[in-house]
Amino acid sequence: MEVAAVLVAAGSGERLGADRPKAFVVVAGRLMLEWSVAAIRAAGIEHIAVALPEGESAPPGCAAVRGGATRSESVRAALARVSGAERVVVHDAARPLVEPDLFTRCLAALSNADAAIAAAPVTDTVKETGADRIVSATLDRSRLWAVQTPQAFRRTSLERALECPEAVIRAATDDSMLIERIGGVVRVVESSPANFKVTTPHDLEVAELLLGRRP
């Protein structure tokens, strides 16, 4: 097994206002996580480990693991279930609009990096403020990227990154931050804003509309 996928599906969905874990909300006739599983398989990745909330089951053909208290704990547990993979791609089940070619491009970009991450160019003007919300700087958006998933990793690099101190791991808002922390090379792979994360009821409505148009 050279390549495997880790699908993080342990989120509660509290901000979505759902009565079940977010990945198990139905969107355009499918469970949210099933859209990502289909995209992963369409990219030619057969081995998939899914980090799940307690009491939920993985789709057929996927390995199920219990999600941890943090994202990194969930990734670590799922990584152990695909122990033979040299390259691993991590994806959020809450991004059901992901296209198969994005997995392929992230994996290809690992040829000269420790991690390759999907990200969309920032198009809005971004300002930095202090706690008082007074603007201290306007950032150069030509150098800014809104990071998404999938994120592809060399297994050895990801395992080393997951050995960072617990305080560092808990402060990380995505897995690639831990690669940065250990001095690894993280390469950006351009994606689209359409690969958004479903977080709010409005996001769910948009995802329903867009996925409903797919064949």
Report d(CA 174, CA 12) in Å as an integer: 17
Q: What pLDDT shows up at residue 1?
A: 63
Domain spans of the chain?
3-212
Please state whether beta strands 186-190 and 115-121 pair in parallel, antiparallel, or not at all (unpaired): parallel
Question: Letter for the amino acid at 13?
Answer: G
CB neighbour list of residue 124: distance below 8 Å, 6 or more residues apart: 141
Report d(CA 156, CA 87) in Å as an integer: 9
- Helix/strand/coil for 15: coil
Q: What is the DSSP letter of 59?
A: P
Q: What is the pTM of this model?
A: 0.94
Domain 3-212 has CATH 3.90.550.10: yes
Report d(CA 29, CA 18) in Å as an integer: 16
Compute mean pLDDT per 10 residues along the chain, 215 residues long, and list them: 92 79 94 98 98 92 92 93 95 98 98 98 97 98 98 98 92 94 98 96 96 89
CB 187 within 8 A of CB 179: no
Q: What is the DSSP letter of 84?
A: T
